[in-house]
A and B are shown apart, each in its own frame.
Chain A
Amino acid sequence: MKTRRDFIKISAAGAGAATLGLSSLSWKGVSSLYASNDRGPVSEEEMTAHSTYCEVCFWKCAGWTYVDKKGNIRKIIGNENDPHCNGRLCPRGTGGVGMYNDEDRLKTPLIRETVNGKQQFRKASWDEALDLVASKMAEVKERHGPEAFALFNHGAPGSHFKHLFHAYGSGNEGEPAWAQCRGPREVGFGATFGSWVGSPEPTDIRDTRCLVLIGSHIGENMHNGQVQEMSTAIDRGATIITVDPRLSTAASKSNYWLPIKPSTDIALLLSWIHVLIYENLYDKEYIGKYAMGFEQLKEHVKDMTPEWAYGITTLDPDLIRKTAREMAAASPSVIVHPGRHVVWYGDDSQRERAIAILNALLGSWGRRGGFYFKEAVKVPKFPQPEYPHHKWDWKDNLDGKYPLSAMGITTELLKASIPEFNYKHQIKSWIVAGTNLPLTIPDKELFKMAAQSVDFIAVVDTMPMDITAYADVVLPECTYLERYDYIRSAPHREPSIALRAPALKPKYETKPAWWIAKQLGERLGLGEYYNYDDIEEVLEWQLNKLGSSLEEMKKLGVKKFPRKSGGLYLQDGEDYEFNTSTGKIELYSLEFEDLGFDPMPKFTRHPQPEEGFYRLIYGRAPMHTFSRTSNNPNLWDLMDSNSVWVNPKVADLWDIRNGQKVWLQNQDGVVSTFPVKVRVTERIRWDSVYMVHGFGHTNKKLTRTYGHGASDSELITNVMIDPLMGGTGMRGNFVTFIKEKPIEEVES
């Protein structure tokens, strides 16, 4: 956290005033990272503004990139007409400048070669690198079929490579967004309301009277629109209830904080459902009209009283009752938030079901201050031939496991890459575009084994992320500030589109992902799928169909369209058919029952840490996105490392001081590669420790962030898989402290 002062010693109780972190008063890179030739600000009139939407996270806020006369990107400002950001970018969007300026960026294509028995990268021309990747793709297609080439992807670059893979004939693609993030909530809400939550979440926070967060740390996860609306809700006096073993920032803003024992959330949710039903507080008209399965639910939760939940969650039964009544008093203007990263304990789809059921009882789906009906602009597809039919994909390897997985499961693609797993269909090679797998996927050994097993890996990225160390070919992508991408069309209250246009030509020898994918496609004889010279032609064609143009969008940045799907909310007494098999909100899930799963959520006890071990909880910091921003000079300056949060009682027991560096060792004996600073704080329970995800990079080419902090991902070796959808539950790992340096420095 950015602070002027050095660390101030925290009092023995761990409380008192503290400014966090250390200001990075390093001179490193100063000369290159600010425009020293002019000292002051430059007025906007002397700069040119270029439309963009942000790629630092998935919220994709639209903004303007300001370029001065010397060709420096000076700042990025939010687009006032954009429903995602309302003219206000978050620190990462504002700091997107650093992504362009980072001198550690990938600069040229690289090819792995062996010289005197030592492997190293050498610079290569684009032609050579593209020829090599295309030849590998052609070879795999001929020997094993195109399906044996897999794509791991995230964000805008992913969309261009998905097109390439579909044209090439492979449906084997996976992104961490499903099995490492939000899959369970889509399954849970889908089974209940017949609709995914989707992104951005259609939570009507600005108009809510009660917001309930279950481990969701809005404000630390800087999902811009939600942070803004939570602030509006605070202004309007909404009641906020936060359930979290840690006093998160959101918890500190809440009227009620429920410091729950980790892994017991379903017990709390069921007891809340019990109170709503047995105190007759639920929305009877709404349930009567729209829902099925109420009587079964009532019977199911009969004994799940707050007193029952107290023994499990450690939460005061009176507090459970009181908060249930608060929700009911605000109903239907209440949101029990689905959360976003929800792969925790392997029963996550069922926990999300409990959240969805709670929302149903409160009548909040399709109601003002609850969940609105979202709508997106349908962007017409540029003319192209049909994609070829692929013979198999990741789902055919599962033999009926994870029946509700709707997107590729990254970990399953990894297992299919390892011959020892004996999968029916094997993966032989990968392209990885825009996702840093070693710091994203739990069970690093599985990843390493898979990476060693495959014949060939090409990585497309802007930075020398940890994944590039495993690449045979590295293809350097330019940043979002230097390229066009597809039109942004995301669901919201008002449908809108946004344009990303380059502010400057690509720096170094970097290229946009659309160009890289097109070059590969043409080399593979797939030219008919690339019936254009420049992506501008595609965008112009699509925008014309929508009644706009590139010229107009360059001026507007964002264009809104009228809704076509009806109102934001259910009308009084409106007949409405939900997209479930019964057309009703399913409190009792027939879909789950048919597949052999519990039709109503049950509480299961999960293992607790043994003596001397603490549950590893991880989360986000508002200035960083996953592991991808930690080397960004502007954002690194705000926060240059994570720390491990330790309760003062635990710190006393271990004689660990605030600021002391320790190594963490997990239940399977895995020790963190790097030490991490201890933050002694009353904000965390004594049975848990907390870390911000995304630090502990092992690639020395990331000169700022290399070796700073510890990676939570490498300590997550116990993975609890959600049987419904393949999500990788990651909250069942326990760590202990090692105070002396345990091993030799690991070579990266």
Chain B
Amino acid sequence: MRYAMAIDTKKCVGCGDCVVACQTENNVPIGFCRDWIVENVSGSYPNVEVELRSERCNHCDNSPCVRCCPTGASHVIEGGIVKVTHDECIGCGACIQSCPYDARYSHPDGYVDKCTFCDHRLAKGQTTACVAVCPTNCLYFGDLEDPNSDVSKALKNRSWKVLAPEAGTKPQLYFLT
């Protein structure tokens, strides 16, 4: 099993619904977030292009945050999901420094927090909160090893890219272009 997400940049309107849905689902305090929106503008008027994308932890196959964690709080669970055990985290922030995607933040309660791919929902057969809410249906989630999963099907028919491939982290967010 290998969980992954595809984000269709041709459909994302950057509304931020994924951000609010994650905050309310996961009790993320106001002022912090586990996912966010990036807007890229290129060209000059009137030959301009905009790419909007919803970003979060890449749940990397080769995750520097897990390797650098001094306490073992950062770890990988079934399906390749990178998680933090809050009670084991001392809040040193080494993982925040090591992440090329800036996907982690310091929670006001003193630990480091990040996207969990909503593993508590996956356990019940639901999809992640951001995927479930997205009004444009631009997020596809599932098991890459299952050819019939939403994410596998999305990747099969489209061109895609990953972010910062040069970092060698083998990220698992795929941006459909």
Give the interface of A toward B (CB within 8 A). Answer: 1-5, 13-20, 23-30, 33-36, 38-43, 74-78, 87-91, 94-95, 97-98, 219-220, 222, 224, 227-228, 230-232, 234-235, 247, 249, 252-253, 257, 259, 622-623, 633-635, 637-639, 647-648, 681-686
Contact = CB atoms under 8 A, between A and B. Distances in A.
B76 interface: no
B89 to A, nearest CB: 11
A231 B137 contact: yes
Given A27-B108, A634-B20, A683 B48 contact: yes
A633 B49 CA distance: 32
B31 A30 contact: yes
B24 A15 contact: no
A95 B20 contact: yes
Interface string B15-57: 1110111011111111111001111111111101110100100
Nearest to A61: B135
A253 B10 contact: yes
Contact of A682 (B10, B24, B48): B48
B16 A88 contact: no
A28 B108 CA distance: 12
B135 A222 contact: yes
A19 B101 CA distance: 13
Contacts of B37: 1-3, 20
A231 B42 contact: no
A33 B28 CA distance: 10
Nearest to B54: A2
Contacts of B29: 30, 33-34, 36
Given A24-B31, A74-B24, A683 B50 contact: yes
A15 B31 contact: no
B78 interface: no
Nearest to B119: A41
Contacts of B31: 23-28, 30, 637
B161 to A, nearest CB: 14
Contacts of B46: 247, 257, 259
B136 A634 contact: no
Given A27-B31, A76-B24, 9 more contacts: A1-B37, A25-B32, A34-B29, A35-B27, A75-B24, A91-B19, A623-B20, A681-B41, A682-B43
A94 B20 contact: yes
11 contacts: A18-B39, A26-B31, A76-B24, A91-B15, A94-B20, A219-B13, A228-B135, A249-B14, A682-B41, A682-B44, A684-B45
A75 B50 contact: no
Interface of B: 10-11, 13-17, 19-21, 23-33, 36-46, 48-50, 52, 55, 86, 102-103, 105, 108-109, 118, 120-121, 124, 132-138
A623 to B, nearest CB: 5
Nearest to B32: A25
B160 to A, nearest CB: 16
Residue of A24, A25, A74, A249 most packed against chain B (CB within 10 A): A249
A450 B42 CA distance: 47
B136 to A, nearest CB: 4
Contacts of A33: 29-30
B11 A638 contact: no
Contact of A88 (B28, B41, B103, B133): B133
B79 to A, nearest CB: 18
Contacts of B136: 219, 227-228, 230-231
A88 B15 CA distance: 13
Contacts of A633: 30
B26 to A, nearest CB: 5
A316 B68 CA distance: 57
A459 B168 CA distance: 59
B51 to A, nearest CB: 8
A15 B16 CA distance: 22
Given A40-B120, A252-B50, A685 B45 contact: yes
Given A4-B36, A219-B15, A94 B24 contact: yes
A132 to B, nearest CB: 37
A494 B15 CA distance: 27
A43 B121 CA distance: 8
B15 A222 contact: yes
A18 B30 contact: no
A30 to B, nearest CB: 5
Contact of B124 (A1, A43, A78, A232): A43
A257 B17 CA distance: 26
A15 B44 contact: yes
Contact of A19 (B16, B38, B108): B38
B147 to A, nearest CB: 20
A637 B37 CA distance: 13
Nearest to B34: A4
A266 to B, nearest CB: 21
A29 B108 CA distance: 12
A219 B11 CA distance: 10
